[in-house]
Amino acid sequence: MDTFEKIRACLAEQLDIEPDEITMDSNILDDFGADSLDLVDLVMALEDEFEVEVPDDAIESFHTVGDVVRFVEDHT
């Protein structure tokens, strides 16, 4: 399973949406109605799944799923 697929599965579970609805261009807040708590939960799950530390300033740059994928790929 590649990075995008793992992140997509995590998002689908956390936000109770179908994985097929999630693309690299999906905006996490606008397209899925996620709030800041959902984003924090996602970051905690990413830190566990990929054994990476996500600094607070990086979280602010997570707008699309692609942003998250690129961060994880750059830091693992």
In DSSP notation, 21-68 reads G--TT-BHHHHH---HHHHHHHHHHHHHHHT----HHHHTT--BHHHH
Q: State the 10-residue block means of pLDDT for the chain, 76 residues long.
A: 93 94 96 91 92 91 95 94
Catalytic residue among 16, 35, 48, 74: 35
**Can you give the pLDDT at residue 7?**
95
Please say if 41 is a catalytic residue. no
Domains, in order of start, for the chain: 3-75 (1.10.1200.10)
pTM: 0.90
